[in-house]
Chain A
Amino acid sequence: MGTQTPYLPGTQPETKMALSPRWRVVFLNDAVSRMTYVVLVLRKVFGFDEPRATAHMREAHEKGRTILWVGSRERAEAYVFSLRQWHLSAIIELDETGGS
């Protein structure tokens, strides 16, 4: 005869979606890097088309920063490392908006 697991109130297993935190790659403007250089590097590192890279460059120029990408921490770090190889200033920060 088989055994049956009794139902115990309050112990029913819950299915929880353990969402990984999302991280932003933020490019910070500097006084040295030319606009054309920034556009080139953003196209090279992120594969952006020219209008998108230019829009990010302009936003950074006007506001001091622009969010380039949102996603996993590992990829965010890889992007920041690549930007640093091209001597652009970038940071990663936790994306608390929950959206992309």
Chain B
Amino acid sequence: MKRVEVKLDLTNVAPLLDVLKNASDALRDRLALPLNLPTLDPESVEQWKSDLVESQNDDINVLLKLFNRDFFTEETVAFDEANADAVVRACSALKLYLYYEYLSDLDDEDFESDAVAYDLLTEPQQKPFLAFMFLDTLQKVIMRHLNDLILEG
């Protein structure tokens, strides 16, 4: 089974875990990306919301479990076919939350081209931005190494 292990620097990552946990709590009952489907009847919209929130939370739980007690001793997280899809989706959900909650006033083009000047961020934006970039990096690593697994899964 193809498996990717990533060594992380605990001193850099540990402070971001609170941000991820808070984002996870905030998304407990809502979608990271609001559902805006006027063509759906209200009953279906509610059913979709419920199903999508459940799916979103399942994925986020898979991601957060990577940072369990073992992580604090081994400083390593591992991805394989059992968790790659869920972690990639969870990264997207949390990135969307962090962006719309803290970072949406940044210039879109700077954001898309990784040209955001960290020093110009306000203090409340700094940790969410670092958490966003951490999730973005995890996503890139998984997609680079496990793209085929995700496509076949």
- Chain A residues in the interface with B (C-beta under 8 A): 23, 30-34, 36-37, 40, 43-44, 77, 80-81, 84-89, 91-94
- Give me the 3 closest cross-chain CB pairs, A-B, nearest first: A87-B92, A31-B108, A32-B99
Q: A91-B36, A92-B39 are in contact. Are A36 and B96 (CB under 8 A)?
A: no
Q: For residue B37, which residues in chain A have a CB less than 8 angstroms away from its CB? A: 80, 91-92
In the assembled complex, the Cα of A88 lies from the Cα of B99 at a distance in Å of: 14
Q: For residue B95, which residues in chain A have a CB less than 8 angstroms away from its CB? A: 32
A-B contact pairs, 30 of them (CB 8 A): A30-B33, A31-B104, A31-B111, A31-B112, A32-B92, A32-B95, A34-B139, A36-B143, A40-B88, A40-B143, A40-B150, A43-B151, A44-B150, A44-B151, A77-B40, A80-B37, A81-B48, A84-B31, A84-B35, A85-B52, A86-B89, A86-B92, A87-B33, A87-B56, A87-B89, A87-B92, A89-B33, A91-B36, A93-B39, A94-B39
Q: Which of B33, B40, B99, B143 has the most CB of A within 10 A?
A: B33
Q: Specify which of B52, B88, B112 is in contact with A37 (CB 8 Å cutoff).
A: B88
Known: A87-B33, A91-B36. 17 other contacts (CB 8 A): A31-B99, A31-B111, A32-B99, A34-B136, A34-B139, A36-B140, A36-B143, A37-B88, A37-B139, A80-B37, A81-B48, A81-B51, A81-B52, A84-B31, A86-B89, A87-B96, A94-B39
Give the total number of A-B pairs whose CB atoms are below 8 A apart.
61
Query: A32 near B36 (CB under 8 angstroms)?
Result: no
**Nearest CB of chain B from residue A76's CB, rounded to whole Å:** 9
Chain B interface bracket (under 10, 10 to 19, 20 to 34, 35 or more): 20 to 34
Query: A40 near B147 (CB under 8 angstroms)?
Result: yes
**Nearest CB of chain A from residue B102's CB, rounded to whole Å:** 12
**Nearest CB of chain A from residue B30's CB, rounded to whole Å:** 13
In the assembled complex, the Cα of A37 lies from the Cα of B87 at a distance in Å of: 13
Q: A31-B112, A37-B88, A44-B150 are in contact. Are A87 and B143 (CB under 8 A)?
A: no
